[in-house]
Amino acid sequence: LRPRVVFSGIQPTGVPHLGNYVGALRQWVNLQRDEQPSTKLIYSIVDLHAITVPQKPETLRQRKREVLAALLAIGLDPERCTIFYQSSVPAHSELMWILACTASVGYLSRMTQWKSKLSLASSSTLENKSVGSRLKLGLFSYPVLQAADILVHRTVADAFTPRATHVPVGHDQQQHLEFARECVTNFNHAYGNHLVHPETIVSPAQRIMSLTEPTSKMSKSHEAQRSRILITDSPQDIRSKIATALTDSIPGISYDPATRPGISNLLEIFSVFDTERRSPTQLARAYADASPKIFKEAVADALLTGLQGIRDRYLDLSANDSYLDKIEQHGARKAQESAKETMDIVKTAVGL
- As annotated, the active-site residues are 117, 217, 220
The one segment of 15-23, 269-277, 320-328, 340-348 that binds ligand ADP by CB under 6 A: 15-23
Interface with ligand ADP includes 75 (CB under 6 A)?
no
Q: With CB under 6 A as the rule, give the number of residues binding ligand ADP.
A: 16
Interface with ligand ADP includes 44 (CB under 6 A)?
no
Q: How far is the CB of 16 from ligand ADP (least distance, A)?
A: 7
Q: DSSP class of residue 86?
A: G
8 A C-beta contact, residue 273 and residue 303: yes
Interface with ligand ADP includes 23 (CB under 6 A)?
yes
8 A C-beta contact, residue 335 and residue 153: yes
The one segment of 18-26, 139-147, 251-259, 340-348 that binds ligand ADP by CB under 6 A: 18-26
Interface with ligand ADP includes 170 (CB under 6 A)?
yes
8 A C-beta contact, residue 190 and residue 198: no
Interface with ligand ADP includes 257 (CB under 6 A)?
no
Q: How far is the CB of 218 from ligand ADP (least distance, A)?
A: 4
Interface with ligand ADP includes 219 (CB under 6 A)?
yes
Torsional sign, CA 320, 326, 331, 336? positive
Per the DSSP assignment, residues forming a β-bridge with 84 are: 44
Cα distances from 219 to residues 16, 125, 256, in angstroms, run 10, 28, 22
The one segment of 69-77, 97-105, 213-221, 240-248 that binds ligand ADP by CB under 6 A: 213-221
- Taking alpha carbons only, the member of 148, 166, 138, 172 closest to residue 54 is 138
By CB under 6 A, name the one of 38, 133, 221, 249 that touches ligand ADP.
221
Interface with ligand ADP includes 165 (CB under 6 A)?
no
Q: How far apart are alpha carbons 62 and 67 in whole angstroms?
A: 9
By CB under 6 A, name the one of 9, 11, 64, 102 that touches ligand ADP.
11
Cα distances from 326 to residues 56, 70, 76, 98, 315, in angstroms, run 24, 16, 15, 31, 17
Interface with ligand ADP includes 307 (CB under 6 A)?
no
Q: How far apart are alpha carbons 204 and 332 in whole angstroms?
A: 30
Which residue ranges make up the site for ligand ADP (CB under 6 A)? 11, 13, 19-20, 22-24, 170, 172, 207-208, 217-221
